[in-house]
Chains A and B, each alone.
Chain A
Amino acid sequence: MATGEALLQLPFTVNKGEVAIMLEFVQQLVNGLSLGAIYALIALGYTMVYGIIMLINFAHGDIMMVGAFVGFYSITLLGTNIVMAMIFAMIACAVLGVVIEKVAYRPLRGSTRIAALITAIGMSLFLEYMTIFLLGPQQKVFPHSAFPLKEYNAMGLLITNKDIFIIVSAVVLMIILQYIIKMTKTGKAMRAVSVDREAAVLMGISVDKTISITFAIGSALAAAAGVMVGVYYNTINPLMGIIPGLKAFVAAVLGGIGIVPGAMVGGFVMGILETFVSGYGSSLYRDAVAFGVLILILLIKPTGLFGKDTGEKV
């Protein structure tokens, strides 16, 4: 084991067993952060859309799937590198998000929330089975050459360039998002519409345009997550969006739906929680414990970790 050599490099004395335990803990943390970064990116789209039009966009996970496929084809057919593939996927899904909003959700904006919700579920199924119809149900293998694996061994701790790629690009995207929301005029408009749509109209904000931009940004983030899933797990398939979509939705609720920093934290909490339950409890109870904790948090704080007690949401 590499722990033996690691022992020599440490400036202080600890016994071998403790080092192994510490290393495993940090390794699990890295595993959890990578998984959490993906959840967080998807959760952002859920929470942004909910924040602005109170709609749970169940098609969001499937937009991620479309993003993964766009990335896949831009690598295999156009021969682009991974960064270009991600940019292509983000652009394609931004357009797709806007189109979906225009075609499916905008006509229902005045109707009941349940009608819009059902439409979202319909849109989700439409995207899944349209992809199966067009590309077949088989899984596709993300080309290994698109992202050659490099491993860094730091005193027995194994970190791959994939982990670094996912965590770094997720953080960069989140910083850009925060900048857009807090510092730009568009962001100001988004926040205004989310607080009070009627008042925003009176202030001369184009609600339609703002909602379109929200869908575009949310979908682009999902597309980035989709390409990451492709890179990280190597296979993509038309139904790949369902489970991560659901978990990201849970992450968004956990953080407080409609609240952007909440989705980020919720995503990471979800990823780390799952990893630690598998790593220190039992993988057999992973989802049961992860969702049990979720229920517990919501019982104690129904608005989620970052929610304000308005007594209105969820």
Chain B
Amino acid sequence: MRKGVLKRLSVLVLMVFVLGIAVGCGGGAQNAGDEDKGGEIKVGLNVELSGGVASYGTNCRDGAMLAIEEINAAGGVLGKQLNPIVRDCKSLADEAMSVSAALVDEGIVAQIGPLVSGNVQGSTPVMMDNGIPLIAPAATAPNVTVDEKTGETLNSIFRVCFIDPFQGTLMAEFAADNLGAKTAAIYKDASTDYGKGLAEYFKKTFEAKGGTIVAEEGFVKDDRDFKAALTRIRGKNPDFIYVPGYYQEVAPLVKQARELGITAPMGGGDGWDSPDMVSVATAPNLNNTYFTNHYSSQDKDPKIVAFVEAYKAKYNKEPDAFAALGYDAVQLLAQAIKDANSAEPAAITEALAKIKDFEGITGKMTIDEQHNPVKAGVIIEFKDGNQVMNTRIQP
């Protein structure tokens, strides 16, 4: 409640502030940035470098900086060097907004970040008001790029990651095509949009592929007993069981399923990605289970191998999905500037919306009308307690 009021108040203060600048500088503030200095294009990095999700922001920044370095070393974009301006939004939505305002003030042509959906939404009004494109590397909530009330796409907001529910589509394709499943049961986290969204997309795709959903069950956050519904599912004897949820519930669920003698392959989304999966469910129970993710550093694709090597050489650590998505966000921006043949924010925005078959580290992507990329995902398999990349799915 109070936060809402605070947010609205700060939007108001900010609008007055931005208006003041626009009037004060005679409206020339932004144009002066990229045209007059000639040699450089300013790119804002508004990422979480401290606070709750600092590790996301830090890795994303590292990936993005690597991309900028590579682009500049190869002569820049349109003959101009990319000049990154890195700012910390402290993992706070309000802070993300004021950082964006400051970055706009400095004359950026586009902003990369923040990472978390809520923080992107904090930054959104500033970017929209100024008509400067925002590329979200990892915001997976569906409503980041569309106005929830009107259903209209937000003009300036783009992303390079797929939205959460899309993982359901990927897993359905994998189950039907790679595992040869004809029947599937869904046991979803019915208390989150995440679980419901993934389940919905899974069902749609699996049925479109000629499969049958034989059971649809649900659990809620903090449930610990899944045996009743699992016993029921066991009676239906499905070829595949889809469990979109988070590891706190999924780990005991998988364990109980195996204890009930269910041997069918099971799968889920990136909510499964936690070391707790193995410690709770135990390695043997997790064999023959799969989950979808944005990317795997084990991928043998030469482009990814090169990226992983360059990243390791520079930072001495394994690049995670956030690093890869940060890298892709910058590369996508560079592509859009090239396509537009201009570093004007409006031209870049237009070019971003038209991106087609862009080859990123996290897959080939095409931006759809809702500014979401249609792109590949990877299937990770648990093998004796280790996460092993199984395959890449291109829808």
B122-150 interface bits toward A, Cβ cutoff 8 Å, 1 = contact, 0 = none: 00000000000000000000000000000
Cβ-defined contact, A144 with B282, below 8 A:
yes
Q: How far is the CA of A34 from the CA of B234 in the complex (A)?
A: 19
Total A-B contacts with CB atoms under 8 angstroms apart = 82
The yes or no answer to A279 lying at the interface (CB within 8 A) is yes
Q: How far is the CA of A283 from the CA of B255 in the complex (A)?
A: 18
B-chain residues with CB within 8 Å of residue A279 when the two chains form the complex: 228-229, 231-232
The yes or no answer to A151 lying at the interface (CB within 8 A) is yes
B-chain residues with CB within 8 Å of residue A229 when the two chains form the complex: 224
The yes or no answer to B248 lying at the interface (CB within 8 A) is yes
B-chain residues with CB within 8 Å of residue A283 when the two chains form the complex: 187, 217-219, 228-229, 232
A-chain residues with CB within 8 Å of residue B227 when the two chains form the complex: 31, 34-35, 275
Contact of B229 among A24, A149, A278 (CB under 8 A): A278
Cβ-defined contact, B232 with A24, below 8 A:
yes
Q: How far is the CA of A242 from the CA of B224 in the complex (A)?
A: 12
Residue of B nearest to A278 (CB): B228
A-chain residues with CB within 8 Å of residue B395 when the two chains form the complex: none
Cβ-defined contact, A234 with B222, below 8 A:
no
The yes or no answer to B309 lying at the interface (CB within 8 A) is no
The yes or no answer to B22 lying at the interface (CB within 8 A) is no
Contact of B276 among A139, A277, A278 (CB under 8 A): A139
Residue of B nearest to A237 (CB): B248
Given the known A-B contacts A27-B231, A235-B248, A235-B280, are A284 and B225 also in contact in the complex, defined by CB atoms under 8 Å? no
Cβ-defined contact, A233 with B225, below 8 A:
yes
Cβ-defined contact, B224 with A235, below 8 A:
yes
Q: How far is the CA of A130 from the CA of B229 in the complex (A)?
A: 35
Residue of B nearest to A31 (CB): B227
Q: How far is the CA of A286 from the CA of B228 in the complex (A)?
A: 10
B200-235 interface bits toward A, Cβ cutoff 8 Å, 1 = contact, 0 = none: 000000000000000011111010110111011011
Given the known A-B contacts A31-B228, A278-B229, A279-B229, are A149 and B259 also in contact in the complex, defined by CB atoms under 8 Å? yes
B-chain residues with CB within 8 Å of residue A239 when the two chains form the complex: 222
Cβ-defined contact, B259 with A243, below 8 A:
no
Cβ-defined contact, B228 with A274, below 8 A:
yes
User: How many interface residues does chain B have, given as a range?
Assistant: 20 to 34
B219 CB to nearest A CB, Å: 6
A165 CB to nearest B CB, Å: 14
Cβ-defined contact, A284 with B218, below 8 A:
yes
Q: How far is the CA of A20 from the CA of B260 in the complex (A)?
A: 15
Q: How far is the CA of A27 from the CA of B231 in the complex (A)?
A: 7
Q: How far is the CA of A234 from the CA of B255 in the complex (A)?
A: 9
**Residue from A235, A243, A274 having most chain B Cβ neighbours under 10 A:** A235
Cβ-defined contact, B252 with A234, below 8 A:
yes
Q: How far is the CA of A251 from the CA of B323 in the complex (A)?
A: 50
A-chain residues with CB within 8 Å of residue B259 when the two chains form the complex: 149, 151, 158, 160
Cβ-defined contact, B228 with A235, below 8 A:
no
Q: How far is the CA of A139 from the CA of B247 in the complex (A)?
A: 11
**Residue from A28, A144, A233, A239 having most chain B Cβ neighbours under 10 A:** A233
Cβ-defined contact, A24 with B224, below 8 A:
no
Cβ-defined contact, B231 with A31, below 8 A:
yes
A18-39 interface bits toward B, Cβ cutoff 8 Å, 1 = contact, 0 = none: 0010001001100110110000
Cβ-defined contact, A1 with B237, below 8 A:
yes
Residue of A nearest to B255 (CB): A234
The yes or no answer to A46 lying at the interface (CB within 8 A) is no
Cβ-defined contact, A141 with B276, below 8 A:
yes
Contacting B at CB under 8 A, from A46-101, are none
Residue of A nearest to B260 (CB): A158
A-chain residues with CB within 8 Å of residue B248 when the two chains form the complex: 139, 235
Residue of A nearest to B282 (CB): A144
B280 CB to nearest A CB, Å: 5
Q: How far is the CA of A242 from the CA of B234 in the complex (A)?
A: 30
A-chain residues with CB within 8 Å of residue B252 when the two chains form the complex: 233-235
Contacting B at CB under 8 A, from A271-287, are 274-280, 282-284, 286-287
A-chain residues with CB within 8 Å of residue B235 when the two chains form the complex: 20, 24
Q: How far is the CA of A117 from the CA of B255 in the complex (A)?
A: 39
B-chain residues with CB within 8 Å of residue A153 when the two chains form the complex: 261
Q: How far is the CA of A34 from the CA of B220 in the complex (A)?
A: 20
Name the 3 nearest CB pairs between A and B, nearest first.
A278-B228, A283-B229, A275-B228
Chain A residues within 8 Å of B, Cβ to Cβ = 1, 20, 24, 27-28, 31-32, 34-35, 139, 141, 144, 149, 151, 153, 158, 160, 229, 233-235, 239-240, 242-243, 274-280, 282-284, 286-287
Can you report 24 A-B residue pairs in the complex whose CB atoms are below 8 A from each other? Answer: A20-B235, A24-B232, A27-B231, A31-B225, A32-B228, A139-B248, A153-B261, A158-B261, A229-B224, A234-B280, A235-B224, A235-B248, A235-B252, A239-B222, A242-B222, A275-B227, A278-B217, A278-B228, A279-B229, A279-B231, A283-B228, A283-B229, A283-B232, A284-B218
